[in-house]
């Protein structure tokens, strides 16, 4: 599924609470995340920030790049399972969407899972927003602005599905 470049504006609006880069603190993030049954982090910077605060997401999605530039150092953190998937920039592969659904259906797991994307991981937040159970929390970066934290609700799922249906061809 390829992102229609004329629909990029649909993805500019944060799905949840945008915390500006200079306002992201360990206390604020911990307060929000400690109530979540499951936390998903999408993006290298987002994942590094959470891990740096001592919080390892239940599922993290990274591509070892930042703003499409390969990171100089590899960021490691303890996980129970690592999954490798391909996803071209500006696309959402069927394989990625199916793996997201599979992981969500197995939501009783207690293990920490890292998905490493060969290509680009940014759009992978969308299927997590569409299919995650209510009250799960999804964190992702808003480029040059800050951290977005979304508590999944029926409304956020509907919004994600609407954008998905409009933006992908």
Q: 104: helix, coil or strand?
A: helix
125 φ, ψ to 5°?
Answer: -60, -35
Categorize the per-residue pLDDT at 39 as very low, low, confident or very high, splitting at 50, 70 and 90. Answer: very high
Instruction: Tokens for 149, please give them.
Output: 């934290």
**Which candidate, 127, 145, 117, places its Cα nearest to that of 12?**
145
pLDDT digits (tens, 9 = 90+) for 92-141: 999 999 999 998 888 656 789 999 999 999 999 999 999 999 999 999 99
Q: 95: helix, coil or strand?
A: helix
For residue 69, pLDDT over 70 is answered with no
C-alpha distance from residue 19 to each of 77, 139, 147 (Å): 24, 11, 5
**Which candidate, 138, 131, 116, places its Cα nearest to that of 57?**
138
Instruction: Tokens for 152, please give them.
Output: 């999944």
pLDDT reported for residue 57: 96
Categorize the per-residue pLDDT at 61 as very low, low, confident or very high, splitting at 50, 70 and 90. Answer: very high
pLDDT reported for residue 4: 82
Q: Which helix (H) or strand (E) holds 83?
A: strand 81-87
| Range with the poorest average pLDDT among 26-30, 80-84, 103-107, 121-125 | 103-107
Average pLDDT, the chain: 90
Categorize the per-residue pLDDT at 143 as very low, low, confident or very high, splitting at 50, 70 and 90. Answer: confident
| Range with the poorest average pLDDT among 9-13, 63-67, 87-91, 100-104 | 63-67
CA distance 29 to 103: 24
63 φ, ψ to 5°?
Answer: -130, 10
Nearby residues of 80 by Cβ (< 8 Å), 6 or more positions away: 111, 112, 113
């Amino acid at each position: 599924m390829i992102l229609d470049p004329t629909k990029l504006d649909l993805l500019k609006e944060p799905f949840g609470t945008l915390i500006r880069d200079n306002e992201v603190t360990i206390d604020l993030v911990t307060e929000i995340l400690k109530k979540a049954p499951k936390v998903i982090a999408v993006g290298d910077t987002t994942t590094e920030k959470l891990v740096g605060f001592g919080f390892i997401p239940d599922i993290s999605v990274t591509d070892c790049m930042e703003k499409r530039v390969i990171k100089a150092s590899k960021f490691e953190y303890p996980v129970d399972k690592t999954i490798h998937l391909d996803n071209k920039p500006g696309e959402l592969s069927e394989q990625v969407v199916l793996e997201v659904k599979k992981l969500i259906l197995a939501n009783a797991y207690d293990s920490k899972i890292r998905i490493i994307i060969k290509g680009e991981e940014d759009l992978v937040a969308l299927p997590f927003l569409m299919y995650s159970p209510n009250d799960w929390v999804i964190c992702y970066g808003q480029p040059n602005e800050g951290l977005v934290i979304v508590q999944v609700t029926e409304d956020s799922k509907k919004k994600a599905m609407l954008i998905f249906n409009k933006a992908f061809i």
